[in-house]
Amino acid sequence: MIDENEAWIENNFNLKDSEKFKIMKKVYKDLFINEDYFSKKIDVGRSTLFSWGQKNKASFHTKSKIKLCKGFKLLDSVWSDKFSTEYAFEESLSQYEKIESIKSKKDITKHILVKLNNIDIRGIKLNNLSNDEINELWNSKLKNKSSVFMFEFAEKLKSEKRISEALEILEWINERESSFKYTHENILRHFKAILLSHDNIQDWDGAIHILRSLYHSSHYHLQEPEILTLLASNYKRKALSKEKIDMELMTSALCLYEDAYELKNDNAKYYDAVNLAYLYNIVDTIEIEYANKKEIKSLHNELLKIWRIDKSNWWEVCSDAEILMLLGRVDLAILKISDFLENYNVKPFEIDATMRQIKFYIHLTRDKKAQQFLEFLEDSYSALI
């Protein structure tokens, strides 16, 4: 057990954000060229950059940490990890440097989960199984089946929200010696993290452990940026589940959503963009008590230049509308949803999922514009059921 004096010494000598910043600036001085270049690169004024350099033993706002992570090309954990001396921090900085893909974004080969659908085992096509057939197969001698068959069955169970059973099958695959397990190790770990993140399980720490390992050890995120989105989602949910919102976890979530946004193909960026927009407003409301829309405006303008919105897809249209809502442009957001509802069908669970996210956002921010948009969605939902 650490006595009170030891605890005081440990806490007193943890480097503050401003102290870390000065060391980063010293180590990565070649990134600067000059102050003007660096301030433009991380999108802050020269006076702000100067102020950061003058602070002693001060903590930075979340957005400041994110901008510096991006500018210095460092992982988000550089802020949350504890260091007792400047020397220890300086010596460890290289461990936080992001791995850059040698290939251009367009050339990145995406290793999506192996497509194992429609494998014919005794005439059974797993993706077409009924509930009774799933139960019958579950009660049979599944462990005698091939790893390929079991993995596909686990995917089917996930689609039916039978998450605990899908996790059990992954454990069976992991217990046996097979070429499939070793050949597809990253894919199996990725899938397990997806299952652990599910609302039915909510093992955020377990998922984070797997995803961080994929991120650091194998750099799997360069082939499959979706793990960054999943990792960000777990950090966000864990941060927001605490009685007092954990701002270090929020910093990690925002950094990872930004990294995922940069790595993904243009038409897949919208999901990370809308999550970034929500978190920007939430962080501002917590730290400065009002939402500065600058980052969201810039993000939305950039997104619209590269994103061809599928106007028949609820999630894409709604994501665009939600960003407009977060910018306070509620009338235009409502118009976009109204246009969709007049021309296409939306499933009740889709609109319900959107409303739950907005309700939680309103709970955290008391955003009156968002409340107006929510009331419109609630009226639309009532008409569907």
Domains for the chain: give ranges and CATH numbers. 4-98 (1.10.260), 120-183 (no CATH), 265-385 (no CATH)
Mean pLDDT for 142-156 is 90
pTM of the full structure: 0.85
Tell me which amino acid residue 66 is: I
Rounded to whole angstroms, what are the CA distances from 138 to 120, 153, 157, 169? 17, 9, 10, 10
Residue located via tokens 């008409």? 383
CA distance 333 to 338: 9
Mean pLDDT over 371-375 rounds to 97
Residue pLDDT, tens place only, 85-126: 999 999 999 999 987 654 433 443 333 343 333 333 343 467
What's the pLDDT tens digit per position in 178-194?
888 888 999 999 999 99
Query: Which letter does DSSP use for residue 57 in this model?
Result: S
Which tens digits make up the pLDDT trace of 239-284?
999 889 999 999 999 999 999 999 999 999 999 999 999 999 999 9
Q: C-alpha distances in angstroms, 336 versus 223, 319, 348, 376?
A: 34, 10, 18, 12
- Provide the CB-side half-sphere exposure for 60 (13 A, CA): 26
Q: Say if residues 64 and 251 touch (Cβ distance below 8 Å).
A: no
- What would the DSSP string read from start to end of 236-248? HHHHHHSSS--HH
pLDDT band at 43 (very low <50, low <70, confident <90, very high): confident
- Residue 176's identity, in one-letter code, is R
**Distance in angstroms (rounded) separating the CA atoms of residues 341 and 312:** 10
User: Which residue do the tokens 């109204």 mark?
Assistant: 338
What token pair was written down for 96? Answer: 């936080």
List b or e across 182-196, with b for residues whose CB sees 16 or more CB atoms inside 10 angstroms: eebebbbbbbbbbbb
* Phi and psi, residue 253, nearest 5°: -60, -45
243 Cβ neighbours under 8 A, 6+ residues apart: none
Whole-number Å distance between alpha carbons of 207 and 253: 14
Residue 9 has pLDDT above 50, yes or no: no
120 three-state secondary structure: strand
The pLDDT, as a whole number, for residue 29 is 87
Handedness of CA 213, 219, 223, 229 (dihedral sign): positive
Mean pLDDT over the full length of the chain? 87
pLDDT tens for residues 72-87? 999 999 999 999 899 9
Using one digit for the tens of pLDDT, what is the confidence trace for 292-336? Answer: 899 999 999 999 999 999 999 999 999 999 999 999 999 999 999
